[in-house]
Structure 1
């Protein structure tokens, strides 16, 4: 199920792949005021479907998802949608940083992160 959180065609698209609703709401609140179209899916299979419709500029990708690991999904994104920037987000898996970056993630944010950290990460990738 794809949830449209903001809908303006002229904005850069950011896809949140995260199964925890509270975390998605928090990220959406942190990005409030940022000129982006933010959408959310909860599973890797929903993310694949979303990508086939409209590849986003940036993905915020959690590691532990109901149907697999974000770490494994990075290589799929890199292979099929090389222009999409990937920010891996993880709380319990700090050791996943090296693997995420080795697999092709552009950045890694450890939960919890704040608005400034998230803004800076997005700005860095969009420049």
Structure 2
């Protein structure tokens, strides 16, 4: 699976790449212009887009909604610490999940795998993928689970559907 990872903060981009590159091909970029180039390059097929919202040349929410219309075969998710209620509603309407930082980027990809492959990774496999002690995964899982909370039960419903919980 090829993942387009859009994050303008160097340190977070490096962390995300480190979490994902052991198992996936990752195209890390820092802005939407670079992301558009990759999305439009047939030599670099993209299966999933993980995007920050606040980027130097635009908003990730608008970008993923636009890309979903152009490339419906791809999966999309927003990972941000700065989403407004309006942003969340737009994502919910487009059935694009969003996650609040901080989290393990691999957990987002794992949710995608569960949705499409019905073969979730167990705690040990995730730990191996991330090169961490499996006992530390309990804490990381709690953090990632807390990160998907939305402000209202209405906004949580599509997320639960996306994760296969409904």
Instruction: Identify the structure with bigger relative contact order (alpha carbons < 8 Å, sequence gap 6+).
Output: 1
Please state if 1:19 is matched with 2:5: no
What is the aligned residue count? 114
TM-score for both structures, normalised by structure 2: 0.61
The one-character-per-residue Cα deviations of 1:19-49 (angstroms, maximum 9, x if unpaired) are 1111111112222532x10111111111111
2:77 to 84, 87, 103: 87
Residues 1:37 and 1:116: Cα distance change in structure 2 (over 3 Å): closer
After superposition, the CA RMSD in angstroms is 2.0
Structure 2 alignment gaps of length 5 or more? 118-166
> C-alpha displacement at 1:92, in angstroms?
2.3
Give the greater-gyration-radius structure (CA).
2
Instruction: Compare the two structures and name the one with the higher helix fraction.
Output: 2
Quote the Cα distance in structure 2 between the aligned partners of 1:38 and 1:125. 20
